[in-house]
């Protein structure tokens, strides 16, 4: 049973037999997939995306296909701001292995050589989904933090900056030329709006992922 029942797995391969076999394999592991017969068809799909899928996702991408190749599609994916949230696993024939290895060095999650082991492939898919879930969680946390920051007043931001620097209330008051009591009120409001209980938690919340 998969940890990601709501996962989206995109199969991009011009061979209908390969797509059907992969879809069946994934169904046996309670994973649903969406098949695309060409890179162009999948490109049309993602051109409608404003952002990454909201659930853990990954792409199984054939290296060689008629028309746009898997590598050309990968180049397009690398330019997307959401690419890290949708890992790519290349499916390669023996002759394509060096090319697939180079793609991994450039950001692909992994490659599986045809014919691949079902268990190995599914394990790598699960690991790719775990990475996707982690990236999506970090993105959600970042957006939540940005929304919380936007709710602060200018004075609350001033107090927050000095609190994060480790200054006690008295020094914050001196620097901002306000009373210690006013600092305490602003500090309390900052903690409440940012959803933290201490200066350490606040600093951690503001630390880049």
pLDDT for res 114: 81
| Sheet containing 33-36, strands listed edge to edge, beginning at the edge strand earlier in sequence | 33-36, 8-12, 57-62, 88-92, 110-113
CATH class of 8-141: alpha beta
pLDDT over threshold 90, residue 191: yes
Percent of the chain topping pLDDT 90? 72
- Rounded to the nearest 10 degrees, the angle between the axes of helix 154-164 and helix 199-206 is 100
Q: CB 54: neighbour CB atoms within 10 A? A: 11
pLDDT over threshold 90, residue 2: no
Which has more pLDDT, 45 or 1?
A: 45
From the list 58, 55, 59, 6, the residue with the least C-alpha distance to 32 is 6
pLDDT bucket at 94, cuts 50 / 70 / 90 = confident
pLDDT digits (tens, 9 = 90+) for 27-80: 999 998 999 999 999 999 998 888 888 999 999 999 989 999 999 999 999 999
Average pLDDT of the residues of the chain: 91
pLDDT for res 164: 93
DSSP class per residue in 27-76 = HHTT--EEEESSHHHHHHHHTT-SS--SS-EEEEEES--SSS-HHHHHHH
Question: CA 87: distance to chain centroid?
Answer: 8
Percent of the chain topping pLDDT 70? 98
pLDDT for res 92: 85
The structural domains of the chain, with segments of one domain joined by +, span 8-141, 151-206
pLDDT for res 185: 94
pLDDT for res 1: 58
| Mean pLDDT confidence for 7-15 | 95
What is the rounded distance in angstroms from the CA atom of residue 193 to the CA atom of residue 149?
8
What is the rounded distance in angstroms from the CA atom of residue 149 to the CA atom of residue 206?
9
| The CATH number of the domain covering residues in 151-206 | 1.10.10.10
pLDDT for res 39: 96
1-5, 74-78, 113-117, 171-175: least confidently modelled range: 1-5
Give phi and psi for 58, each to the nearest 5: -155, 165
pLDDT over threshold 70, residue 178: yes
pLDDT over threshold 80, residue 169: yes
pLDDT digits (tens, 9 = 90+) for 138-155: 999 989 999 999 999 999
pLDDT over threshold 70, residue 209: no
């Amino acid at each position: 049973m998969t940890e990601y029942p709501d996962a989206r797995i995109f199969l991009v391969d011009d061979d209908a037999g390969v797509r059907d076999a992969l879809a069946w394999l994934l169904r046996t592991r309670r994973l649903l997939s969406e098949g695309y017969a060409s890179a162009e068809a999948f490109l049309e799909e993602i051109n409608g995306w404003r952002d990454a899928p909201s659930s853990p996702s990954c792409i199984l991408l054939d290296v060689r296909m008629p028309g746009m190749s898997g590598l050309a599609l990968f180049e397009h994916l690398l330019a997307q701001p959401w690419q890290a949230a949708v890992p790519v696993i290349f499916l390669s024939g023996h002759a394509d292995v060096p090319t697939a290895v180079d793609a991994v060095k450039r950001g692909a999650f992994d490659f599986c050589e045809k014919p691949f082991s079902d268990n190995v492939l599914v394990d790598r898919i699960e690991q790719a989904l775990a990475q996707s879930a982690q990236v999506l969680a970090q993105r959600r946390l970042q957006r939540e933090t940005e929304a919380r920051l936007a709710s602060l007043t200018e004075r609350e931001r001033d107090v927050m900056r000095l609190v994060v620097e480790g200054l006690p209330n008295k020094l914050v008051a001196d620097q901002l030329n306000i009373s210690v009591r006013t600092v305490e009120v602003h500090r309390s409001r900052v903690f409440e709006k940012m959803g933290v209980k201490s200066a350490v938690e606040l600093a951690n919340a503001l630390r880049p992922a």
